[in-house]
């Protein structure tokens, strides 16, 4: 038995399908409409369960780390309770909650007790058949390692990930104006017909602690140009990768693309690129060039699923005993 937490229509569908395929049950939020990413949902049935038992009774299922799911994840980790984490896929990505045009279905990653697959998974015969079918539909090219790059590309985590991993983020209840903190305005929600949106700044504070610390550390070990790429960069990711010596990220899936293009990676222990990367920035001039990238790619593909595969229990059968 498992129990899932619904948060918003676009992410609820894979959670619902996964929980139903396992014969579990769902906690529906008190407010079913959209709310700001940092505003936690409240699940009445979970509140009752928590009052009765102290926490969830069964392994939990969440999508992402927003709207209160971060609290569920941390609560499970604190108590040693299993949880299943859903998010955007590793390979064939870029369509988020829309159907991939070739597969005509959404694709999501699902992890057990972590936010990304940080190891190379052992695959059985059924896994290999699934992986080979995916690759027969859309091959995943792997370029030779490039060892003559020039600059280092730093990919900061989102503010949401900084907050989740306690990376010195100013909480969203405050905004900054000329180094002064002022209470944030919030979004007031009600019924769809009379919902009121109070003006809110387009972007939360991004204190840049992570990337500044990374750049400071890199400068101790290299004289190479260091470029920091933000999501609003005018360049495409491919343009920023061109002629790169290495990429440095926290847990960005962009590093997956870099590795596939032959650019070595440095990351943190929470990243799906961990098996293919170094974590010690002092080794920036001697990157890791592993020779088993295909094995790693196959492992990533095996741990992502179409909605059909989630609904029919393929994901649950694979993961329940991991």
Give the model confidence (pLDDT) of 90-120 as tens digits: 999 989 899 999 999 999 999 999 999 999 9
- Output the pLDDT for position 234: 87
195 against 229, higher pLDDT: 229
pLDDT confidence of residue 268? 93
Residue 5 is given by DSSP the state E
Q: Which of 226, 76, 242 is nearest to 151 (CA)?
A: 226
Tens of pLDDT, residues 123-152:
999 999 999 999 999 999 999 999 999 999
What pLDDT does residue 92 have?
Answer: 97
- Contact (Cβ atoms closer than 8 angstroms) between residue 13 and residue 307: yes
Strands (E), 140-284: 151-155, 174-177, 180-183, 226-228, 244-249, 265-266, 277-278
* Confidence (pLDDT) at 171: 42
Q: What is the structure's pLDDT at 167?
A: 60
Structure-block tokens of residue 205: 């504070």
Is the CATH code 3.40.50 the one for domain 151-169+207-296? Answer: yes
The better pLDDT of the pair 185, 166 is held by: 166
Domain assignments of the chain as residue spans, ordered by start: 3-117+303-319, 151-169+207-296
Determine the pLDDT at residue 212. 87
Name the phi and psi angles at 128, rounded to 5: -65, -35
- Kindly indicate the confidence band of residue 219, based on its pLDDT and cuts at 50, 70 and 90: very high
> Residue 147: phi, psi to the nearest 5?
-120, 15
For 29-61, what is each residue's pLDDT tens digit? 997 776 677 788 999 999 999 999 999 999 999
Percentage of the chain modeled with pLDDT above 90: 73
> Which DSSP category does 100 fall into?
B
For residue 160, pLDDT over 50 is answered with yes
- Per-residue pLDDT tens for 85-97? 999 999 999 898 9
Structure tokens at 218: 């890199």
Percent of the chain with pLDDT over 70: 86
By the 8 A CB rule, do 201 and 173 touch? no
């Amino acid at each position: 038995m498992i129990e899932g937490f619904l948060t918003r229509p676009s992410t609820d569908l894979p959670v619902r399908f996964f929980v139903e395929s396992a014969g579990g049950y769902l906690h529906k939020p008190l407010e079913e409409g959209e709310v700001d990413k940092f505003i936690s949902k409240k699940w009445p049935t979970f509140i009752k369960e928590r009052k009765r038992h102290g926490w969830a009774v069964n392994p939990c299922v969440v999508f992402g780390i927003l709207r209160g799911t971060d609290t569920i994840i941390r609560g499970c980790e604190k108590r040693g309770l299993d949880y299943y984490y859903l998010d955007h896929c590793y390979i064939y990505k870029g369509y988020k909650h829309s159907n991939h045009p070739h597969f005509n279905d959404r694709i999501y990653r699902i992890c057990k007790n972590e936010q990304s697959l940080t190891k190379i998974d052992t695959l059985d015969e059924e896994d290999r058949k699934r992986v080979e079918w995916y690759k027969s539909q859309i091959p995943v090219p792997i370029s030779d390692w490039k060892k003559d790059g020039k600059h280092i590309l730093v990919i900061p985590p989102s503010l949401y990930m900084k907050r989740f991993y306690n990376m010195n983020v100013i909480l969203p209840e405050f905004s900054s104006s000329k180094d002064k903190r002022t209470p944030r305005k919030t979004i007031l929600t009600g019924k769809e017909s009379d919902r009121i949106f109070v003006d809110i700044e387009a972007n939360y504070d991004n204190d840049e602690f992570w990337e500044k610390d990374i750049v400071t550390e890199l400068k101790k070990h290299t004289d190479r140009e260091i470029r920091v790429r933000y999501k609003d960069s005018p360049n495409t990711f491919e343009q920023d990768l061109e002629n790169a010596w290495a990429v440095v990220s926290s847990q960005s899936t962009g590093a997956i693309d870099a590795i596939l293009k032959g650019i070595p990676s440095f990351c943190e222990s929470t990243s799906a690129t961990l098996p293919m990367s170094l974590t010690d920035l002092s080794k920036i001039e001697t990157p890791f060039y592993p020779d088993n990238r295909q094995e790693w790619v196959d492992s990533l593909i095996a741990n992502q699923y179409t909605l059909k595969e989630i609904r029919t229990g393929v994901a649950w059968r694979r993961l329940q005993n991991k």
